[in-house]
Chain A
Amino acid sequence: TQLLEQSPQFLSIQEGENLTVYCNSSSVFSSLQWYRQEPGEGPVLLVTVVTGGEVKKLKRLTFQFGDARKDSSLHITAAQPGDTGLYLCAGAHQGTYKYIFGTGTRLKVLA
């Protein structure tokens, strides 16, 4: 059962545009990670958020964990072609090693 829904599923934008990807669940997660995966490679960790309401910035990427720790968002400012890839959120419940991945958002940034 897929517990983490991401939206949108696909996004094609022009270089320089801003975008937001959402990761939603009805469950409370102890932590949530965001990954980016490029073709032929494994997912690469971007950030981990653990506190409700937490905001983390990584250059042009801003990550937010919802107050209730059920949802998260990823905002990219001034997207670049190098941002192209599959963005995945993954959540874990308290005291478990079982990470549940979101449905994924495939982003394409056109030059």
Chain B
Amino acid sequence: DTEVTQTPKHLVMGMTNKKSLKCEQHMGHRAMYWYKQKAKKPPELMFVYSYEKLSINESVPSRFSPECPNSSLLNLHLHALQPEDSALYLCASSPHRGQESNQPQHFGDGTRLSIL
């Protein structure tokens, strides 16, 4: 069982819908990440939050809106998505102590998103 929990596991939505993906961790990690993974490809970084503040946005379209309400929760709000946005969306977290780049990430099992 993963220590990073993502809901829902599967989501099908139309291009005009609004939905949200949720991620929760209780490991005390202070860095949280959203990745997008297309079939047979490695994960691509979308956003990084550090101490509940957005620190990296990898030029992600505004139809994806991240939110970090507290240190345990990370949301990704979706609106007016396109069919090419269909993918596995992964959340990850890592500790925030010492050398940040040496802290491994812990991943959830992802939300498989399909846009009709």
Which residues of A approach B to under 8 Å, CB–CB?
29-31, 33, 35, 40-45, 48, 50, 88, 90, 92-104, 106
Contact = CB atoms under 8 A, between A and B. Distances in A.
B100 A95 contact: yes
B97 interface: no
A102 B94 CA distance: 19
Contacts of B73: none
Contacts of A100: 45
Contact of B102 (A41, A50, A98, A101): A50
Dominant SS among interface residues on chain A: loop
Interface residues on B, range: 20 to 34
Contacts of B102: 30-31, 48, 50, 92
B77 interface: no
A94 to B, nearest CB: 6
Given A42-B4, A97-B56, A104 B99 contact: no
A100 B105 CA distance: 12
9 contacts: A30-B102, A41-B109, A42-B4, A45-B107, A88-B43, A98-B45, A99-B45, A99-B105, A106-B40
Contacts of B110: 41-42
B34 to A, nearest CB: 12
Given A33-B105, A94-B101, A95-B101, A42 B42 contact: no
B4 A97 contact: no
B102 to A, nearest CB: 4
